């Protein structure tokens, strides 16, 4: 019998199924079906990627010595086992739905004292955003190499772009984000203390800068550049974004 602590969650499989249903609908000639398909692709695919992001952290920690992630259910890909399902899934989905930046999901709790080395600690932090990057590259490769209906290509391209944005955002060395978690084990005690104090508010300041200052233009310029490097189709991405945001 498969251990329930490692069996894939039916809820995660439901998210995958919803994304797959969106892929089917996006191939229809009917504009309403196609729009509904793109919405399902983006929301279902984004929720699925949030689960995979956290799974990346957890499975790397498990291999690095933290066996507690199995008992906590993190290896099941079930978002209900995250620290806060609202912050992990609902809020990021809401931000994507209203056309905002794709917020990182809620973190899994890692027992850092159980990890064998500082390199493993860094790898645990990097595993999440790298998962997003791999997903983005895979999606762009599928769109580029597999003939498909325009609606399907547009939805998958926009989802791929969101993965690239998530990677760029999460890799920043800001307390509270994964990029900082990767360098934190190598910092001095004083620097780590400052990071702990800044962790609750630093991401909020970053998001405000992205949304309301020229920092946002720079952030998206880097994201578009990386998207182009990995082979993203900007024209299809814009079509997917406009179709997804059909009410605007």
Task: Read off the pLDDT of residues 51-79 as tens digits, 9 standing for 90 and up.
Answer: 999 999 999 999 999 999 999 999 999 88
pLDDT of residue 3: 57
- pTM here is 0.91
Angle between helix axes 150-170 and 234-244 (nearest 10 degrees) is 100
How many angstroms separate the CA atoms of 97 and 79, rounded? 19
Nearest to 168 by CA among 230, 212, 124: 230
**pLDDT tens per residue across span 147-179:** 999 999 999 999 999 999 999 999 999 998 999
The answer to whether the CB of 129 falls within 8 A of the CB of 179 is yes
pLDDT of residue 100: 61
Q: Widest CA span of the chain, in angstroms?
A: 60
How many angstroms separate the CA atoms of 61 and 70, rounded? 10
Backbone dihedral region of 176: left (phi > 0), alpha (psi from -120 to 50 degrees) or beta? left
pLDDT of residue 116: 93
Please say if the pLDDT value at position 11 is more than 90.
Answer: yes
Q: How many CA atoms lie within 13 A of 175 on its CB side?
A: 14
Tell me what the pLDDT averaged over the chain comes to. 90
Instruction: Give the angle subtended at the CA of 90 by the CAs of 79 and 111, to the nearest 5°.
Output: 40
- Eight-class DSSP state of 101: -
The catalytic residues are: 54
φ/ψ (deg, to 5) at 147: -60, 130
Please say if the pLDDT value at position 192 is more than 60.
Answer: yes
**pLDDT tens per residue across span 121-153:** 999 999 999 999 999 999 999 999 999 999 999
φ/ψ (deg, to 5) at 203: -65, -35
Local confidence band at 105 (pLDDT 50, 70, 90 cut-offs): low
Give 141's contacts (C-beta < 8 A, 6+ positions apart).
231
């Amino acid at each position: 019998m498969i251990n329930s602590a490692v069996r894939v969650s039916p809820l995660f499989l439901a998210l995958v199924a919803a994304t797959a249903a969106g892929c089917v609908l996006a191939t229809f000639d009917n504009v309403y079906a196609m729009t509904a398909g793109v919405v399902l692709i983006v929301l279902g695919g984004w929720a699925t990627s949030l689960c995979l992001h956290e799974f990346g952290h957890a499975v790397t920690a498990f291999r690095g010595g933290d066996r507690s992630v199995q008992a906590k259910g993190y290896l099941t890909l079930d978002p209900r086992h995250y620290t806060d399902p609202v912050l992990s899934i609902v809020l990021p989905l809401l931000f994507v739905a209203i056309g905002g930046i794709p917020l990182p999901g809620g973190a899994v709790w890692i027992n850092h004292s159980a990890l064998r080395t500082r390199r493993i600690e860094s790898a645990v932090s990097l595993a999440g955003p790298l998962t997003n990057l791999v997903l983005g590259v895979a999606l762009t490769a599928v769109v580029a190499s597999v003939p498909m209906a325009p609606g399907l290509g547009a939805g998958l391209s926009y989802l791929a772009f969101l993965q690239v944005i998530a990677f760029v955002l999460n890799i920043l060395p800001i307390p509270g984000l994964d990029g900082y978690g990767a360098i934190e084990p190598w910092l001095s005690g004083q620097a780590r203390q400052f990071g702990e104090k800044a962790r609750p508010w630093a991401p909020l300041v970053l998001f405000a800068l992205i949304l309301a200052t020229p920092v946002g233009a720079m952030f998206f310029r880097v994201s578009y550049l990386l998207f182009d490097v990995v082979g993203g189709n900007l024209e299809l991405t814009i079509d997917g974004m406009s179709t997804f945001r059909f009410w605007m």
